[in-house]
């Protein structure tokens, strides 16, 4: 009888332990921290010895460091679309066929389609409080200035505090312009052609060789004049029209002020956590750091060894520390999965008008933002969840920012959509050490909507093969980026096509220095055959969808313009200082 009692007690204890263990990995709080344009070599936990990032490094010490974590795109908009949906951006129409691969204006009509299912939508349905704080960059309106069809609220976030587009140099007076040079280049030839055409018509008219109605000439001149006036007005007021801060559907600061901006974003994140200590929450804190325009508050300005860029990195690290501290304050650390990453690699071409380097460091990796060289897509990947994921572990398997979707959807007790392909895979078994191999045998690297390269990690090999079908033409040629055009592009004279493709083994050559040949790699043609078969299978899984980054969807549409006063009052307001926010008005 005593033995039976002991046995019963052991069974009860085991059931209780299993129950606790199951509960601990069910519906945790989830915090996703995303930097903007941060290089993998900018962090201490990835080898940097001069920038101080103790709080981000703490995530690595207390959790898992992924050393081959890959962004689904080397550009902001498509990478973030893939992150939220777990799908290659080409599947949702969030990959461009034109030169411009991101949204540039708040009054564009393109954006993440409402048909797409985000992890925030699924977790909200399971009772999670959801918030996005910081940069959005996935569209705002479709047909009117208040339909908010692409707004974070339409994609499962209960609360939004941040920027609808992104951080531009043009948003900060004195930091130059990302548009001026390109606009000047684009307008010179059309203006010259128009001028020559009008002068020629006038000469022909005056000489009597051809009768051109003066009314037609007048209309042409009027249309050209109006177009130029609108263009000049737009770029003169760019900061007011595109750089503003919103809370939910309301503009609270237009134009954006950088004063203590990171502190404000951090405070909003901490308050959201404080409001939701008794129920599961999802917080996406999407930093503006370290996209240009660079900024840092007085407490950090001039304190790092790497100028304003380093100051911004160290301020962001401070913010991460504040988030970890508030979790400890509310005894939530053990109940919260924290993830840190960047949307793509560092923008190596970013140099200020005074010659100061404003781009980050991608470590040993080649290239940077806008390229599918490893420097453009290999990003930090840190996971901390005390007692659930391994502490101090390093994993060198190919993983993707698309993997966040199935990982946290499963943790939130939600079901993965069955009506579409999800390209990401659940990372928890890998993070817990239950498996040692990634489920990603192939990863497809797109440059905008063009398949640029393929990564193959065979199940029976340590090799990671990478095949390039075209590569960007760096300018100057001996540099590590496209300095003449500020970013690299994906087609025409901006690239060099390769036939046969370039082949690298990243396990032996992570710097992508020496392409393999049939002479140096006996399996060269076999590897290409397998990769081409994988491409055929992948291509068959794609379906035609509306292109959200077409020129029509990218262009500024005045009737979609968000404005907290009116265009004629320069769209100015500042309710961050204690004033009351107002509903937005159409331009």
| Predicted pLDDT of residue 576 | 86
What are the start and end residues of each CATH 3.40.720.10 domain in the chain?
Answer: 29-167+243-440+546-554
Secondary structure element (H or E) that encloses residue 207, with its range: helix 180-207
CA dist., res. 294 & res. 373, Å (int) = 25
| Predicted pLDDT of residue 417 | 97
Is 447 a residue of the active site? Answer: no
| Predicted pLDDT of residue 184 | 58
CA dist., res. 205 & res. 224, Å (int) = 20
pTM reported for the whole predicted model: 0.90
CA dist., res. 289 & res. 481, Å (int) = 21
* Active-site residue, selected from the candidate residues 45, 76, 171, 447: 76
Do the Cβ atoms of 257 and 163 come closer than 8 Å?
no
The count of other CB atoms within 10 Å of the CB of residue 160 is 24
CA dist., res. 287 & res. 134, Å (int) = 6
DSSP string, 4-67: HHHHHHHHHHHHHHHHHHHHHTSS-EEEEEEESS--GGGSGGGT-SSS--HHHHHHHHTSEEEE
Q: Which overall architecture, per CATH, does domain 179-237 show?
A: Orthogonal Bundle (1.10)
| Predicted pLDDT of residue 186 | 60
Cβ contacts of residue 4 below 8 Å, gap of 6+? Answer: none
**Is the alpha carbon torsion for 349, 355, 361, 366 positive or negative?**
positive
What are the start and end residues of each CATH 1.10.287 domain in the chain?
Answer: 179-237
Is 137 a residue of the active site? Answer: yes
| Predicted pLDDT of residue 16 | 40
Nearest Cα to 380, choosing from 448, 324, 451, 320? 320
CA dist., res. 449 & res. 90, Å (int) = 6
Q: What is the chain's length? A: 587
* Active-site residue, selected from the candidate residues 69, 137, 440, 457: 137
445 forms beta bridges with 453
| Predicted pLDDT of residue 203 | 77
| Predicted pLDDT of residue 580 | 54
Q: What is the pLDDT along the chain (587 residues), one digit of tens a residue?
A: 444 554 444 444 444 444 334 335 789 999 999 999 999 999 999 999 999 999 999 999 999 999 999 999 999 999 999 999 999 999 999 999 999 999 999 999 999 999 999 999 999 999 999 999 999 999 999 999 999 999 999 999 999 999 999 999 999 988 888 766 666 566 666 667 777 776 776 777 677 776 667 676 677 777 877 777 766 667 778 899 999 999 999 999 999 999 999 999 999 999 999 999 999 999 999 999 999 999 999 999 999 999 999 999 999 999 999 999 999 999 999 999 999 999 999 999 999 888 899 999 999 999 999 999 999 999 999 999 999 999 999 999 999 999 999 999 999 999 999 999 999 999 999 999 999 999 999 999 999 999 999 999 999 999 999 999 999 999 999 999 999 999 999 999 999 999 999 999 999 999 999 999 999 999 999 999 999 999 999 999 999 999 999 999 999 999 999 999 876 677 999 998 765 554 445 45
Nearest Cα to 81, choosing from 109, 102, 112? 112
Helix (H), strand (E), coil (C) string for 125-150:
HCCCEEEEEEECCCCCCCCCCCCCCC
Confirm or reject CATH 3.40.720.10 for domain 29-167+243-440+546-554, answering yes or no: yes
| Predicted pLDDT of residue 237 | 81
Q: How do residues 537-548 score in pLDDT, each as one tens digit?
A: 999 999 999 999
| Predicted pLDDT of residue 10 | 47
């Amino acid at each position: 009888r005593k033995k039976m009692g002991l046995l019963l007690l052991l069974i009860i204890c085991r059931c209780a332990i299993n129950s606790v263990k199951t509960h601990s990995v069910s519906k945790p709080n989830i915090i996703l921290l995303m930097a903007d344009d941060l290089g993998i070599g900018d962090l201490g936990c990835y080898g940097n010895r001069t920038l101080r990032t103790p709080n981000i490094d703490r995530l690595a010490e207390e959790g898992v460091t992924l050393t081959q974590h890959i962004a689904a795109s080397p550009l902001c908009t498509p990478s973030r679309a893939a992150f939220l949906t777990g799908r290659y951006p080409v599947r949702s129409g969030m990959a461009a066929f034109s030169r411009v691969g991101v949204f540039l204006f708040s009054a564009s009509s393109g954006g993440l389609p409402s048909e797409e299912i985000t992890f925030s939508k699924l977790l909200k349905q399971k009772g999670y409080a959801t918030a996005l704080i910081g940069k959005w960059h996935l569209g705002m309106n479709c047909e009117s200035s208040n339909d908010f069809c692409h707004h974070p609220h339409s994609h499962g976030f209960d609360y939004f505090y941040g920027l609808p587009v992104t951080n531009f140099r043009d948003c900060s007076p004195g930091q130059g312009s990302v548009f001026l040079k390109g606009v000047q280049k684009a307008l010179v030839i059309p203006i010259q052609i128009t001028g020559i055409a009008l002068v020629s018509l006038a000469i022909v008219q005056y000489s009597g060789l051809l009768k051109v109605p003066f009314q037609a000439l007048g209309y042409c001149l009027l249309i050209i004049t109006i177009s130029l006036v609108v263009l000049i007005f737009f770029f003169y007021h760019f900061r007011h029209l595109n750089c503003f801060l919103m809370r939910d559907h309301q503009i609270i600061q237009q134009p954006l002020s950088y004063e203590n901006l990171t502190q404000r974003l951090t405070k909003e994140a901490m308050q959201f956590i404080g409001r939701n200590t008794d129920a599961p929450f999802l917080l996406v804190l999407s930093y503006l750091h370290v996209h240009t325009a660079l900024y840092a508050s007085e407490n950090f300005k001039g304190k790092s060894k790497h100028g304003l860029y380093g100051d911004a990195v160290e301020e962001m690290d401070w913010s991460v520390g504040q988030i970890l501290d508030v979790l400890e304050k509310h005894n939530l650390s053990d109940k919260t999965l924290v993830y840190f990453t960047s949307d793509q690699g560092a923008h190596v071409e970013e140099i200020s008008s005074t010659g100061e380097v404003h781009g980050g460091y991608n470590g040993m990796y080649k290239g940077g933002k806008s390229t599918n060289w490893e420097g453009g897509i290999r990003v930090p990947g840190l996971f901390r969840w005390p007692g659930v994921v391994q502490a101090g572990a390093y994993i060198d398997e190919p993983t993707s920012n698309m993997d966040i979707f199935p990982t946290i959807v499963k943790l939130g007790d939600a079901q993965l959509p069955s009506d579409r392909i999800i390209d990401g895979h659940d990372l928890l078994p890998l993070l817990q050490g239950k498996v040692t191999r990634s489920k990603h045998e192939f990863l497809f690297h797109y440059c905008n909507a063009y398949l640029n390269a393929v990564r193959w990690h065979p199940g029976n090999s340590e090799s990671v093969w990478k095949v390039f079908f075209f590569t960007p033409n760096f300018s100057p040629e001996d540099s590590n980026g496209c300095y003449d055009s500020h970013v690299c592009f994906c087609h025409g004279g901006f690239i060099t096509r390769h036939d046969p493709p370039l082949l690298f083994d990243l396990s032996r050559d992570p710097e992508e220095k020496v392409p393999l040949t049939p002479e140096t790699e006996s399996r060269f043609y076999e590897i290409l055959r397998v990769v081409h078969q994988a491409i055929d299978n992948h291509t068959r899984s794609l379906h035609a969808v509306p292109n959200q980054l077409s020129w029509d969807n990218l262009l500024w549409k005045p009737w979609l313009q968000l404005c907290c006063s009116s265009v004629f009052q320069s769209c100015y307001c500042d309710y961050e200082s204690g004033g009351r926010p107002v509903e937005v008005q159409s331009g």
